[in-house]
């Protein structure tokens, strides 16, 4: 043992300080709770919540438990995050590539977009979309149909609902198509490595993913019909749409602002990634006779992705955390439903805030583990 | 003249193609231009869809005709190179040009032409444009929150003096340059704190602290005459001693009337707000989060396992949760953790919460800089016999911080953009005041103007900050 006093003392002091601070907090919390007659415990989760939530993915009303309310909030948070991440990624990649375009106008347009949306607080953007922009939409009775089936009104976006028959067969056909594509890809790779022959994997995959589900319609007995929202009069001046799926304006405002804001950061990551691949790589690839598409697919993208993915992961995490701003416009996400309404009703500040924080921590850590795994998979395998 | 092949523009018929192409492009441009600025539809006689697509098609053909490589005309080559490289780019360029032309008139008319500026009541806002009167009337609220109108000169005066004091660095002579870091890191924040604590907050607290101010000023003045060797000990001991002597031996409360400035009413922090609160919060969080973040960055790289684990835990915890829940915690959970008679103002609580939160991000940025330094720097410093602190203060941190200027600037930008979140604890800075003003029954329906106004302000602040950080980065860039 070569433990020296010099090594132990600073650590000991730090640990004692941390323990003292936490001890001080816990001690006070105990006394405060005793004085106010609150008891600590997570038992309230199974009690009846007796409040309603406007928008929920699972069945929920006041008779369900607080835990169910927590799930409703969590699912809404995940919904917003997933939609936001998808849109932000698509938009961010387009803008990031546009930023490198030799076309002056496109380049400046993309730069303007990035500088504009990046420098305005996200909360302000959410408020802008929700309170100013979406409020300018028409009332349900005045709304004009977009393509005859979508209705964009002040009360939200109404889209047709899918009504499936034998959905499971369709689903299995999709799964089968995906599995077939994976098998073909592996096979194609082997063939190329052994014989140098190239199989047009892309077109085969495209065909498979269309043809198999199509077959399920033709012979599998799958039927799909649409339920178009229909205007219905409730009172003389009050109209709503019935049928179809309605997306509340809160959700639209939130996804719109989250994805527009995060896309600027993703665009910068993409730009940095593509710029980070040396010019020599491109020239070398072209000089051995690869087509421009092959250069992009086989040489540039694999290297650029390595630079792009870690910061983009951070942006995904930020988007997920920023989705908590939903509370400001009353979109029933985790913070609003659980840390807002449920906390007001039960008064269990410590329990509820700790559960909320722990949930976000878990979400963040799981996204970062997933992306780390992916990052490791595509990282350079040095021999 | 050789035969003209219209599918393949070439140099031989340069003029023909140039005139034809420019003409077509001009027609499409004018069509859109008249349509958007004068509301004249030149192609109105055509079916709806055709008249919509026609300018695009004409412009595209025009651009196709003038796409001639090495034409020898400088401007044409430049044009072709920049916006007209191929068909795809030509379409995109056309689309962007048309979108810009189309969007100028409505934006212009909303912002300026149809907007109302005069008057001070809602009645003047009858046009279709923006109602800037609303901003004008509510300007004081947006700038100062609920701070009493008669006292607002205090905020103005404090901010002006702080800006003046902050710009000292530009005028410092070479002799004082070496004290600048000390000034900006220690003295300036302290002065700013005093200003905000006494002057903006005002009230009786001024009195008790005035001894401290006198002691500090006296000790700094005397400090200039103390030989450098003893300076450290001097500043450790003398200010405190002076304070005690002043407070308990020399003066008695009756003699000092300095603190009892009449007219400085106490303004509670709940009344602070608007843009000035944004500045105050950003300023203090900036000051606090930096040293905390630095400490945790060093802690995370420390050789002591326990310190490392604690730092990792701290950083990952704050980075994993959203700021809004941290503020929730500071609002509802934190008071439970304090002794019952112990009260911390909600502004202070918000500042602590935001500082801790941003400190975790600063820590990660600084850690990046520390990792990017070559090992040789550490080894060289150690081989000169430097200890841990000496090595970090004189060798490692100056280089590491220089490397991470962009990252730190980004974190600070994020901090400024996060300040509107303090609505959670009930403080209303500019965005919060906007939301309050928008619900005022006399001024309903002007949400758009308010948000545009705040967006412009924030955009200017953030853009200026990012440009400044870019300059700073260029200035301190060293080649390795």
Instruction: Give residue-wise pLDDT tens across range A325-338.
Output: 988 888 888 888 88
What is the pLDDT at residue A30? 86
Contact assessment for residue B135 and residue B433, using Cβ atoms and an 8 Å cutoff? no
Average pLDDT over chain A, rounded to whole? 84
Mutate which of A20, A353, A372 to test chain B, going by most B C-beta atoms within 10 A?
Answer: A353
Transcribe A181-200 into DSSP letters. Answer: HHHHHHHHHHHHHHH-----
Mean pLDDT of A221-236: 74
Tokens read off for B376: 């040789």
* Number of structural domains in chain A: 1
Spatial separation of the C-alpha atoms in residues B160 and B154, rounded to whole Å? 10
Residue A185 Cα, gap to closest chain B Cα (Å): 31
Nearest CA in chain A to B423: A328
**Residue A47 φ/ψ, nearest 5 degrees:** -75, 165
Between CA A215 and CA B24 the distance in angstroms is 49
Which of B29, B135, B318, B328 should be substituted to probe chain A, the one whose Cβ sees the most A Cβ atoms within 10 Å? B328
Contact at CB, B325 and A360, closer than 8 angstroms:
yes
What token pair was written down for B34?
């008249």
Residues with Cβ within 8 Å of residue B225, at least 6 apart in sequence? none
Return the pLDDT at B208: 58
| Share above pLDDT 70 across residues of chain B, in percent, rounded to a whole number | 89
Set of chain B residues whose Cβ sits within 8 Å of the Cβ of A361:
317, 320-321
Please report, for the domain that includes residue A367, its CATH number: 1.10.3720.10
Taking 70 as the threshold, does the pLDDT of residue B231 lie above it?
Answer: no
Q: Is B359 exposed, middle or buried (0-12, 13-18, 19+ CB in 10 A)?
A: buried
Per-residue pLDDT averaged across B31-56, rounded? 77
Residues from chain B that touch A336, judged by Cβ atoms under 8 A, are: none
pLDDT of residue A1: 47
Residues B343-374 have pLDDT tens digits of 778 888 899 999 999 999 999 999 888 888 88
H or E stretch covering A223: strand A223-227
Most confident segment among A160-164, A251-255, B179-183: A251-255
How do beta strands A230-233 and B428-429 pair?
unpaired
Under the banding of pLDDT at 50, 70 and 90, the label for residue A116 is: very high
Q: Are A48 and A65 in contact (CB under 8 A)?
A: yes
Cβ atoms of B54 and B43 closer than 8 Å: yes
> In this predicted model, which residue has the larger pLDDT, A51 or B93?
B93
Is the Cβ pair A321, B81 closer than 8 Å? Answer: no
- In this structure, how many other beta carbons lie within 10 angstroms of the beta carbon of residue B304? 17
Domains in chain B with CATH codes:
14-113 (no CATH), 138-147+268-475 (1.10.3720.10), 204-263 (no CATH)
A-B CB pairs within 8 A amount to: 155
- Test the A interface: residue of B278, B325, B420 with most A CBs within 10 Å: B325
Per the CB < 8 A criterion, the answer to whether B449 and B132 are in contact is yes
Query: What 8-state DSSP symbol labels residue A137?
Result: S
H-helix or E-strand spanning residue A88? helix A66-99
Q: Render the burial of B368-377: b for 16+ CB within 10 Å, e for the rest.
A: ebbeebeeee
Measure Cα distances from A286 to A85, A98, A102, A314 in Å: 34, 22, 19, 33
State the average pLDDT over residues A337-351. 84
Interface residue A360 vs chain B (CB under 8 A): yes
The yes-or-no verdict on residue B33 having pLDDT over 80 is yes
Q: Take residue B465 and report the two structure tokens written for it.
A: 């900050």
3-state secondary structure of B204: coil
Report chain B's terminal Cα–Cα distance, integer Å: 61
Judged against a pLDDT cut of 70, whether residue B2 lies above it is answered with no
Residues B391 and B378 sit within 8 Å (Cβ to Cβ): yes
Asked if A357 and B321 come within 8 Å (Cβ–Cβ), the reply is yes
How far apart are alpha carbons B443 and B134 in whole angstroms? 8
Query: Residue A161 above 90 pLDDT?
Result: no
Chain A partners of B29 at a C-beta cutoff of 8 Å? none
Q: How confident is the model at residue A255 (pLDDT cuts 50, 70, 90)?
A: very high
First to last CA, chain A: 37
pLDDT at B262 over 60: no
| Assigned domain for A179 exists | no
What per-residue confidence (pLDDT) applies to B237? 75
Question: What's phi and psi for A177, nearest 5 deg?
Answer: -60, -45
Cα angle B329-B331-B335, degrees, rounded to a multiple of 5: 90
pLDDT number for residue B229: 67
- Is the pLDDT reported for residue B327 higher than 70? yes
**What's the pLDDT at B174?**
75
- C-beta atoms surrounding B439 within 10 Å: 10
A32 close to B (CB below 8 A): yes
Query: Band of the pLDDT at A258, cuts 50, 70, 90?
Result: very high
List, in order, residues 6 or more apart from B160 with CB less than 8 Å away.
none
Find which of A18, A127, A346, A367 to mutate to test the B interface (most B CBs within 10 Å of its CB): A127
Query: In the predicted model, what is the mean pLDDT of residues A271-299?
Result: 86
**In this structure, is residue A46 part of a structural domain?**
no
Q: What percent of chain B has pLDDT over 90?
A: 12
Which range has highest mean pLDDT (A316-330, B68-82, B110-124)?
A: A316-330
Q: Decide if A208 is inside a domain.
A: no
pLDDT at position A164, please? Answer: 74
Q: In this predicted structure, what is the pLDDT of residue B178?
A: 73
Two structure tokens written together for B191:
């002065």
Q: How buried is B402 (Cβ within 10 angstroms: 0-12 exposed, 13-18 middle, 19+ buried)?
A: middle
Residue with more model confidence, A328 or A265: A265
CB-CB neighbors (< 8 A) of B323 in chain A:
321
Nearest C-alpha neighbor of B325 from the set A330, A357, A363, A69: A357
ipTM strictly over 0.90? Answer: no
Domain-located, residue A291 = yes
Q: Coil, strand or helix: which one is B72?
A: coil
The pLDDT assigned to B458 comes to 93
What pLDDT sits at residue A10? 79
CA atoms within 13 A on the CB side of A314: 13
In a domain, A199, yes or no: no
The answer to which of B6-10, B31-35, B130-134, B415-419 has the lowest mean pLDDT is B6-10
Contacts of A24 in chain B (CB under 8 A): 337
Residue A54 CB-half CA count within 13 A: 14
- pTM listed for this prediction: 0.85
Q: Where in the sequence is the domain holding A336, given as residue range(s)?
A: 66-160+228-378
Which structure tokens are listed for A20?
């003292």
- Looking at residues A158-162, what average pLDDT do you find? 78
- For the stretch B94-151, pLDDT in tens is 888 888 988 888 888 888 888 888 777 777 777 777 888 888 888 888 888 888 888 7
Is A54 among the domain residues? no
Provide the token pair at B275. 């843009």
Chain A residues 201-230 with a CB less than 8 Å from chain B: none
Residue B170 has pLDDT above 80, yes or no: no
| Average pLDDT of span A148-176 | 79
Token pair listed for A239? 């109209």
């Amino acid at each position: 043992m070569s433990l020296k006093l010099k090594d132990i003392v600073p650590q000991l002091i730090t640990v004692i300080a941390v323990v003292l601070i936490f001890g001080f907090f816990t001690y006070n919390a105990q006394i405060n709770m005793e004085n106010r007659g609150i008891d600590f415990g997570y038992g309230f989760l199974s009690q009846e919540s007796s409040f309603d939530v406007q928008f929920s993915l699972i069945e929920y009303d006041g008779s369900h438990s607080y835990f169910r309310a927590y799930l409703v909030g969590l699912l809404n948070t995940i919904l917003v995050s997933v939609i936001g991440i998808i849109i932000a990624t698509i938009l961010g990649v387009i803008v990031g590539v546009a930023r490198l375009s030799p076309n002056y106008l496109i380049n400046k347009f993309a730069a303007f977009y990035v500088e504009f949306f990046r420098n305005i607080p996200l909360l302000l953007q959410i408020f802008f979309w929700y309170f100013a922009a979406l409020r300018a939409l028409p009332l349900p009775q005045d709304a004009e149909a977009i393509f005859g089936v979508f209705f964009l009104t002040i009360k939200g976006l109404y889209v047709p609902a899918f009504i499936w028959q034998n959905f499971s067969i369709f689903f299995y056909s999709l799964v089968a198509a995906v599995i077939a594509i994976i098998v073909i890809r592996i096979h194609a790779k082997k063939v190329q490595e052994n014989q140098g022959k190239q199989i047009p994997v892309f077109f085969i995959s495209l065909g498979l993913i269309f043809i198999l589900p199509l077959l399920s319609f033709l012979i599998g007995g799958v039927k799909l019909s649409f339920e178009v929202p229909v205007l219905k009069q409730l009172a003389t001046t009050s109209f709503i749409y019935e049928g179809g799926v309605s997306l509340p304006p809160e959700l639209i405002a939130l996804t719109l602002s989250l994805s527009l804001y995060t896309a600027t950061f993703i665009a910068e990551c993409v730009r940095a990634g593509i710029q980070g691949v040396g010019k020599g790589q491109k020239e070398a690839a072209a000089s051995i006779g690869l087509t421009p598409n092959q250069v992009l697919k086989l040489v540039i993208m694999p290297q650029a992705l390595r630079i792009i993915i870690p910061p983009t992961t951070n942006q995904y995490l930020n988007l997920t955390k920023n989705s908590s701003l939903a509370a400001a416009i009353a979109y029933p996400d985790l913070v609003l439903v659980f840390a807002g309404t449920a906390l007001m009703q039960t008064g269990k500040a410590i329990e509820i805030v700790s559960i909320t924080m722990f949930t976000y921590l878990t979400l963040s850590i799981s996204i970062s583990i997933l992306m780390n795994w992916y990052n490791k998979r595509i990282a350079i395998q040095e021999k | 003249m050789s035969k003209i092949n219209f599918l393949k523009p070439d140099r031989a018929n340069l003029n023909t193609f140039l005139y034809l192409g420019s003409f077509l492009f001009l027609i499409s441009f004018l069509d859109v231009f008249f349509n958007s600025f004068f509301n004249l539809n030149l192609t109105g006689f055509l079916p709806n869809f055709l008249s919509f697509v026609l300018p695009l098609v004409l412009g595209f053909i025009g651009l196709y005709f003038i796409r001639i490589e090495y034409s020898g005309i400088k401007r044409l080559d430049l044009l072709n190179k920049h916006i007209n490289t191929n068909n795809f780019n030509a379409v995109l360029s056309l689309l962007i040009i048309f979108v810009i032309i189309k969007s100028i008139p409505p934006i212009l008319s909303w912002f300026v032409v149809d907007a109302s500026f005069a008057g001070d009541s809602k009645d003047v806002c009858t046009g279709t444009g923006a109602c800037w009167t609303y901003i004008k009337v509510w300007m004081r609220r947006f700038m100062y929150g609920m701070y009493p109108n008669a006292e607002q000169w205090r905020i103005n005066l404090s901010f002006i003096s702080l800006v003046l004091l902050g710009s000292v660095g530009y005028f410092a002579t070479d002799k004082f340059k070496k004290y600048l870091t000390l000034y900006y890191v220690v003295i300036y924040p302290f002065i700013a704190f005093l200003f905000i604590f006494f002057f903006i907050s005002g009230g009786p607290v001024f009195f008790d602290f005035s001894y401290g101010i006198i002691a500090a000023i006296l000790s700094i003045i005397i400090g200039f005459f103390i030989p450098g060797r003893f300076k450290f000990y001097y500043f450790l001991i003398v200010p405190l001693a002076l304070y005690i002597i002043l407070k308990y031996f020399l003066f008695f409360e009756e003699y000092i009337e300095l603190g009892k400035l009449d007219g400085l009413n106490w303004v509670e922090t709940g009344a602070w707000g608007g843009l000035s609160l944004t500045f105050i919060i950003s300023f203090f969080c900036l000051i606090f989060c930096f040293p905390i973040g630095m400490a945790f960055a060093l802690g995370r790289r420390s050789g002591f396992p326990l310190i490392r684990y604690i730092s990792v835990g701290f950083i990952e915890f704050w980075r994993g949760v959203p700021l809004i829940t941290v503020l929730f915690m500071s609002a509802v959970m934190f008071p439970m953790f304090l002794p019952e008679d112990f009260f911390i103002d909600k502004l202070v609580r918000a500042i602590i919460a935001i500082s801790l939160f941003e400190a975790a991000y600063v820590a990660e940025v600084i850690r990046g800089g520390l990792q990017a330094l070559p090992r040789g720097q550490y080894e060289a410093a150690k081989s000169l016999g430097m200890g841990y602190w000496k090595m970090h203060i004189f060798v490692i941190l100056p280089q590491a911080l220089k490397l991470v200027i962009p990252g730190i600037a980004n974190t600070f930008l994020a901090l400024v953009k996060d300040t509107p979140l303090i609505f959670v604890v009930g403080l209303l800075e500019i965005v919060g005041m906007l939301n309050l003003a928008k619900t005022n029954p006399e001024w309903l329906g002007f949400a758009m103007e308010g948000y545009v106004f705040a967006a412009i302000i924030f955009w200017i602040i953030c853009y200026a900050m990012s440009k400044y950080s870019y300059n700073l980065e260029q200035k301190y860039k060293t080649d390795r």
